[in-house]
Amino acid sequence: MEEPPPLTDRLWLASWRCWLQVARLIVSVELPEREGAPAVGVKSYVPGPFHLSTLLNTFTPLFRRVHRSVQLGELRGDGLPHILRQVVSVPLPSEQSPFAVSSQNSELGLNPVQECVLECVQVVLREQLVVDSPLRPALPDTLRLLLDFTGHTIRPPVSKFPAPAASGSSRSSSSNLVREGGAEVGGDI
Which residue range(s) make up the domain with 152?
Answer: 9-23+49-156
DSSP 56: H
Full pLDDT tens readout for the chain, 189 residues: 677 778 888 999 999 999 999 999 888 876 656 665 555 555 566 788 888 999 999 999 999 999 999 999 999 988 999 999 999 888 876 555 544 454 554 566 778 888 899 999 999 999 999 999 999 999 999 999 999 888 877 777 777 766 655 544 444 444 454 444 444 444 343
Residue pair 160/29 in contact by the 8 Å Cβ criterion: yes
Task: Round to whole Å and give the CA distance between 101 and 162.
Answer: 22
Amino acid 84: pLDDT: 94
Domain assignment present for 15: yes
Amino acid 34: pLDDT: 60
Task: Round to whole Å and give the CA distance between 47 and 16.
Answer: 21
In 22-155, at which residue ranges do the beta strands (DSSP E only) sit?
43-45
Domain assignment present for 85: yes
In terms of Cβ atoms closer than 10 Å to its own Cβ (0-12, 13-18, 19+), residue 100 is: middle
Domain assignment present for 101: yes
In terms of Cβ atoms closer than 10 Å to its own Cβ (0-12, 13-18, 19+), residue 141 is: buried
Amino acid 150: pLDDT: 85
Q: What would the pLDDT profile of 11-20 be if each residue is shown by its tens digit?
A: 999 999 999 9
- pTM for this predicted structure: 0.74
Domain assignment present for 165: no
Domain assignment present for 140: yes
Could you report how far apart the first and last alpha carbons of the chain are, in Å?
37
Ramachandran region of residue 108, left (φ > 0), alpha (ψ -120 to 50) or beta? alpha
| Crossing angle of the two packed helices 9-26 and 59-66, in degrees rounded to 10 | 140
Task: Round to whole Å and give the CA distance between 136 and 176.
Answer: 38
Domain assignment present for 31: no
How many domains are there within the chain? 1
Give backbone dihedrals phi and psi of 30, rounded to 5 degrees, phi first.
-90, 130
Task: Round to whole Å and give the CA distance between 59 and 72.
Answer: 17
Amino acid 182: pLDDT: 43
Domain assignment present for 79: yes
Amino acid 183: pLDDT: 42
